[in-house]
């Protein structure tokens, strides 16, 4: 049997129902460990003070925000090529998680920026392209909700997702170009990765793992809800006639 | 140049409306579809015209021989009657809009903008469009709405001439089209989906 | 195809067809900004290229929902879809007609409006060049947005929401080109990028638009 | 009357009803300006109050054609005109519904968008105050414009053209109020003027709108 | 509660269409207006309803007793059938939408959004609206368009009940409304403006 059999909504419901409890428990363990370790067992940074601890939410959520879009892109392709309903609905569910993660990354970033850069917001390329990603999410979700027929909505949002991805990459390049033109060298973004010491690194890993699991759990739950919705619709249609 | 429909189901808004629709039409035949409000006549015609998805079953017809005329006539209110008609003539690669104008007494309205036509005049223009398409299989949804008795006669004449020249037509209507015995009548009530099954895409969820 | 182009141009030029209105909107945005920002010329001339680009983009945006919605509402689109025209061609023609009736007037008007914002003299030619290169892309992308939202009643604002992030690269390179031109800096990269975007978008996006339109009409 | 208000709010909140979309448009205008003008915060924070006001005004403008055009197209307006409601009341209710679904969200969102433009801290309260005072006038004036253009197909852009000059005084005093607030200057005059405009317009313009609507329906 | 029309001229787009229209209607009467396409039936009805200017002549009727139903039914596609109807009930200050729903078999469609109705279902909802207005003089423009025969019967029943209760109705139509002898018929062709005079406001320029 191929993997595709799980693209059947009913099979998917059964399988995901089985894995969800385990996944949820794992999520809680990772998040609690990472957060507790990060917030209570690490020292304050010598330069940034305690604000550095925003990193435990900021970085994982930013990661998820971007990768959720990739997942949606893959799901869109699967829907357009193989027309598996689960993938269309999973894309929809992922977009809801993705937009929230984008928002969290933006907000935590803003709260971090205030003490570090003295401003809530700067038109740094990285921040800017994130804002554009947020707009893409908004448009995508608005399109889903504006169309009644679920198959049509799935088709249209899939095309939007693909076209949007191309443009998102293009904007990323454009934004880099645009900002360098004005801020020669004096970019605001921190030198990441290298600066980070192991003390912060390991709890961060746990947090990232926790957020990845959280994303999976929320997306699964969302997909299941969408499937149930469609099921209810189908049943109502059969009943009423 | 035939239209054959076999075991067709049509759906709207995730509900199957008609099931197992079967009929076939060849050159020189006209078919009138009847059935109560909300049965699915409009849906069926749109499906035949390729404007809606086929749920199950087959429609075998060459798409480049059909033309559809629905509730809306697609008349631009700022273009004149002539411009409206000529546009469609060009799109369908035909030349002469004269016969179409003559068939529906539109000659005197020729320079009037579409927005200044009365309901019946609009509909006459919409029907005249059929003649300039040069297509042979016509699909008409309530073609005589708003027409006065004289225009209904003109419509019947047009249809008779069309099928006389080897064309064919499928029409949905609630009222008498004045075609008498020239057209067969098909009551769609017999195809009403009995156990209204959900649409095929919803079925996957059951 | 030519018949469709002629019809669309004719419709746009007739009373209430919207020709000149996006131009007027452009004018008004440019006029409003000094009211909002205040009358200092030094500040205004600094932001002039950017405001002109943003104004042109908004004016373009506002006229997008006419591209398909009118034809959809009166049933013409159904009839066009069953007519012997390839849908890609229809989409292409619609974009061309939109550019001729909206983009082109904006390009021509921009230098005059530049005066109101105190655009430096050497800037005029660059505003025209950048808009001439960029607005076709705006029309084509806009047609895609129009095709996406065609079945939705008064989808105008949703359309804006969908299209605007897609406009960002064009806007960045366009405004950057104009600004660099004004400042006498090197303009090669933005010119190449802007031209590249316009060509790529014009060659590929109509297929996506036609596909989307087909889905919407089904 | 209450029934009409409830219906309009309900329609706005239903799918495709446009609620939140003008908010999105506001967001997008504010986001686009830096792309056009460039990313320097010093410059941006200088023009921030003006851009916020212009953005709110444009977002408001774009939703104006929904006020009457939808009801006109589907025949409801004919039916409303012959219903036992005074047309002045209908117009008033329409303006109120428009403000609740468009103006109010803009007022609430403005400070958050101010962050993007680097609005100085003391500016937030003034942006909110000025918009809260000014947007009701925008809705009432917009309703007048909607009534003027009601019979015209896709009159959206014409509507903008008619309404924008009428918006100028509100914009001037509103933006001035916000700017003065940001700079810590005296704000009495603009507050009084803005409040005066809103009151006067709210009290008088509905009669003009009703008259215009009557003419248009005839 | 009467409608008296004397020596009325109506115009559209600066052309006088009908001249010297005369009729009067009292409680319990129904009048059917007939005439070919483009004669001016719609224009006349809109003038009677106060939606268009009176050229010359008089219409004496209390505006708060009339209600107009034209080609468009004013149905909001995102509101359900119930919400649509209830809105009009509230506007006209009546309470109960039950009888109106019953008269046109709308009970089973009650929670369906207006946009998902078929042409005939929409029209049935449009007619049901008349009943919730509580007005007594109805002006109907082609009321039975798209209705199936069963619904036409329901319409005839509604009209009979309405005039039985002392209401009255003016209707323009091309087809049989199923009212038989319950309604008088007025052929408007006799009032066609002979020498199509320019509209009064243009006359000043002659
Ligand atoms: C609104 C403001 C901000 C936004 C939208 C934002 C967005 C992002 C994004 C998109 C990433 C990329 C995640 C990835 O690709 O791995 C990221 C990573 C990061 N951000 Fe922010 N950020 C903001 C503010 C800040 C501030 C103020 C700081 C610190 C002073 C900061 C520090 C970091 C660090 C250390 C990373 C991890 C870098 C890495 O692992 O690659 N961010 N942020
Ligand atoms: N907006 C307009 N401007 C100018 N003339 C118009 C306008 N609308 C309609 N007319 C013309 O007025 C005349 C009367 O139109 P009206 O709609 O009243 O006719 P009608 O009797 O209702 O016809 P039908 O039976 O076709 O509905 C027609 O000849 C029409 O061409
Ligand atoms: N957009 C839609 N979404 C869901 N259901 C719809 C939609 N439009 C119509 N329907 C339903 O589909 C059914 C068939 O509609 P259709 O328009 O095909 O009927 P019809 O036979 O043409 O009726 P009529 O004689 O009234 O025109 C109706 O019951 C209608 O309520
Ligand atoms: Mg139908
Ligand atoms: Mg009429």
Helix and strand numbers (H, E) in chain B are 6, 8
Residue A192 Cβ inside 6 Å of ligand 1? The answer reads: yes
Q: What number of CA atoms fall less than 13 Å from residue A149's CA on the CB side?
A: 22
Find the mean pLDDT for residues C186-198.
91
CA of B157 to the centre of ligand 3 (A): 30
Q: Which chains touch B (3 or more CB pairs under 8 A)?
A: A, C, E
d(Cα B133, Cα B135) in Å, to the nearest integer? 5
Residue C44 to residue C36: CA distance in whole angstroms: 11
Closest CA in chain B for residue A13: B205
Nearest in space to B201 (alpha carbons), one of B83, B25, B54: B54
In a domain, A175, yes or no: yes
Measure the CA–CA gap between B169 and E87, rounded to whole angstroms: 42
A145 closest CA partner among C12, C155, B98, D98: C155
Pair type for strands E56-60 and E3-12:
antiparallel
Would you say residue B48 has pLDDT above 90? Answer: yes
- Position C83 scores a pLDDT of 85
* CATH code of residue A84: 1.20.120
Closest ligand by atom to B124 CA: 2
C-alpha to C-alpha distance for D116 and B41, rounded to whole angstroms: 54
- Structurally, how many domains does chain B consist of? 1
Mean predicted confidence (pLDDT) in C56-65: 88
**Residue-level pLDDT at C17:** 66
Q: What is the mean pLDDT of residues B13-28?
A: 88
**Cβ of E116 below 6 Å from ligand 3:** yes
Residue E131: alpha-carbon gap to chain centroid = 12
CATH number at residue E111: 3.40.50.300
Asked whether residue D2 carries a pLDDT value surpassing 50, the answer given is yes
Domain that holds residue B33: 29-53+61-183
Ligand 2 atom 8: the closest Cα is on which residue?
B116
Type and span of the H or E element at C213:
helix C188-217
Q: Which ligand 3 atom sits closest to the C-alpha of B40?
A: 18
Tell me the pLDDT tens digit for each residue of E127-157: 999 999 989 999 999 999 989 999 999 999 9
Nearest to D65 by CA among D131, D161, D135: D161
Nearest residue on chain A to B206, alpha-carbon basis: A231
Cβ of E9 below 6 Å from ligand 2: no
Residues in C touching D53 (Cβ below 8 Å): 36
CB of residue E144 inside a 6 A radius of ligand 3: no
| A47: pLDDT strictly greater than 90 | no
Ranking A37-41, C144-148, D178-182, E63-67 by mean pLDDT, the lowest is: A37-41
Flag whether B148 is in a domain.
yes
CA distance E161 to E176: 18
Domain hosting residue A156, numbered range: 22-42+51-240
Q: Are B187 and B165 in contact (CB under 8 A)?
A: no
At residue C16 the predicted structure's pLDDT band, cuts being 50, 70 and 90, is: low
Does residue E18 form part of some domain?
A: no
Each residue's pLDDT tens digit, B71-110: 888 899 889 999 999 999 998 988 789 999 999 999 999 9
In tens, the pLDDT along E33-89 reads: 999 999 999 999 999 998 888 888 999 998 888 999 988 888 988 899 999 999 999
State in Å: Cα B37 to ligand 4 middle: 7
Determine the distance in angstroms separating the CA of A180 from the nearest CA of chain D, rounded to an integer.
10
Query: Tens digits of per-residue pLDDT, D21-32?
Result: 788 888 888 989
Q: What is the pLDDT of residues D49-67, one digit of tens each?
A: 999 999 999 888 878 888 8
Task: Report the SS3 class of residue E60.
Answer: strand
B118, B124, B125, B150, best to mutate for ligand 2 pocket (most atoms within 8 Å of CB)? B118
Instruction: Look at residue A235 and tell me if it is in a domain.
Output: yes
**A159 at interface of C, judged by CB pairs closer than 8 A:** yes
Q: For an interface test with A, give the residue of D39, D41, D47 to mutate (most A CBs within 10 A).
A: D39
Question: For E178-206, how does the pLDDT look when each residue is reduced to its tens digit (9 = 90+)?
Answer: 787 888 899 999 999 876 555 556 666 66
Establish if B43 belongs to a structural domain.
yes
| E154-171 pLDDT per residue, tens | 999 999 999 999 999 999
Residue A225 lies inside a defined structural domain of this protein? yes
Domain positions in chain D:
2-216
Facing residues of E186 across strands? E33
pLDDT digits (tens, 9 = 90+) for A181-204: 433 333 334 444 445 566 677 888
Name the closest-CA residue to atom 1, ligand 3. E116
Mean pLDDT across chain A, nearest whole number? 84
Domain count of the fold of chain A: 1
Nearest C-alpha neighbor of E153 from the set E105, E85, E82, E98: E105
Query: Which residue would you say has higher pLDDT here, A187 or D7?
Result: D7
Output the average pLDDT for chain C.
89
pLDDT on residue B42: 94
Give me the percent of chain E exceeding a pLDDT of 90.
Answer: 57
At residue B197, the pLDDT reads 59
Find, in chain C, the residue whose alpha carbon is nearest to that of A149: C216
What is the average pLDDT across D32-36?
91
When computed from its CA atoms, the radius of gyration of chain D, rounded to whole angstroms, is 18
A126 Cβ below 6 A of ligand 1: yes
Distances (CA, A) of B112 to A122, B90, C190, E37: 59, 20, 50, 15
Question: Across chain D, what does the average pLDDT equal?
Answer: 88
Q: Report yes or no on E176 lying in a domain.
A: yes
């Amino acid at each position: 049997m191929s993997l595709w059999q799980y693209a059947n909504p009913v099979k998917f419901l059964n399988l995901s129902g089985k894995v969800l409890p385990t996944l949820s428990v794992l999520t809680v363990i990772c998040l609690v460990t990472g957060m507790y370790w990060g917030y209570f067992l690490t020292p304050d940074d010598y330069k940034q003070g305690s604000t550095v601890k925003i990193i435990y939410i900021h970085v994982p959520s930013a990661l998820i925000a971007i990768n959720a879009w990739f997942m949606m892109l893959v799901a869109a392709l699967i829907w357009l090529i193989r027309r598996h309903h689960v993938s269309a609905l999973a894309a929809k569910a992922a977009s809801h998680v993705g937009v929230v993660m984008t928002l969290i990354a933006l907000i935590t970033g803003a709260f971090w920026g205030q003490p570090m850069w003295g401003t809530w917001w700067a038109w740094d390329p990285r921040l800017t392209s994130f804002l554009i990603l947020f707009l893409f999410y908004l448009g995508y979700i608005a399109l889903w909700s504006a169309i009644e027929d679920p198959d049509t909505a799935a088709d249209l949002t899939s095309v939007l997702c693909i076209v949007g991805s191309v443009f998102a990459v293009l904007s990323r390049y454009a934004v880099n170009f645009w900002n360098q033109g004005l801020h020669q060298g004096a970019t605001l973004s921190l030198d990441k990765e290298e600066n980070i010491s192991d003390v912060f690194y390991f709890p961060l890993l746990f947090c990232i793992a926790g957020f990845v699991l959280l994303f999976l759990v929320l997306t699964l739950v969302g997909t299941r809800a969408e499937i149930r919705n469609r099921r209810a619709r189908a049943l109502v249609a059969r009943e009423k006639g | 140049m035939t239209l054959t429909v076999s075991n067709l189901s049509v759906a709207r808004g995730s509900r199957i409306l008609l099931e197992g629709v079967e009929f076939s039409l060849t050159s020189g035949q006209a078919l009138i579809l009847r059935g109560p409000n909300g049965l699915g006549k409009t849906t069926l015609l749109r499906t035949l015209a390729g404007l809606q998805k086929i749920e199950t079953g087959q429609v075998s017809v060459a798409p480049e021989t059909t033309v559809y005329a629905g509730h809306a006539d697609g008349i631009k209110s700022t273009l004149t009657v002539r411009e409206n008609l000529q546009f469609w003539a060009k799109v369908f690669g035909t030349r002469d809009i004269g016969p179409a104008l003559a068939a529906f007494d539109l000659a005197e309205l020729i320079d009037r903008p579409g927005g200044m036509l009365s309901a019946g005049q609009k509909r006459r223009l919409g029907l005249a469009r059929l003649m300039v398409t040069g297509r042979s299989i016509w699909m008409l949804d309530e073609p005589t709405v708003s027409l006065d008795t004289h225009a209904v006669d003109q419509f019947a004449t047009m249809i008779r001439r069309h099928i006389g020249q080897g064309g064919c037509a499928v029409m949905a209507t609630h009222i008498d089209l004045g075609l008498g015995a020239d057209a067969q009548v098909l009551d769609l009530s017999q195809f009403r989906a009995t156990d209204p099954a959900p649409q095929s895409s919803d079925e996957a969820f059951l | 195809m030519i018949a469709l182009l002629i019809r669309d141009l004719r419709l746009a030029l007739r009373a209430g067809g919207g020709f000149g209105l996006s131009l007027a909107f452009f004018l008004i945005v440019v006029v409003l900004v000094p009211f909002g920002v205040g009358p200092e010329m030094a500040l205004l001339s600094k932001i002039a290229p950017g405001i002109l680009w943003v104004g042109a983009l908004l004016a373009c945006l506002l006229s997008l929902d006419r591209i398909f919605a009118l034809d959809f509402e009166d049933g013409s689109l159904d009839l066009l879809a069953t007519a012997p025209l390839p849908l890609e061609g229809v989409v292409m023609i619609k974009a061309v007609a939109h550019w001729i009736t909206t983009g082109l007037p904006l390009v021509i008007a921009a230098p005059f409006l530049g005066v109101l914002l105190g655009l430096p003299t050497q800037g005029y030619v660059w505003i025209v060049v950048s808009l001439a290169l960029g607005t076709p892309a705006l029309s084509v992308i806009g047609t895609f947005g129009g095709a996406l939202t065609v079945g939705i009643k008064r989808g105008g604002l949703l359309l804006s929401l969908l299209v605007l992030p897609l406009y960002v690269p064009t806007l960045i390179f366009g405004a950057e080109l104009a600004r660099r031109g004004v400042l006498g800096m090197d303009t090669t990269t933005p010119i190449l990028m802007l031209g590249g975007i316009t060509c790529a978008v014009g060659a590929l996006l109509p297929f996506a638009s036609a596909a989307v339109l087909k889905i919407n009409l089904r």
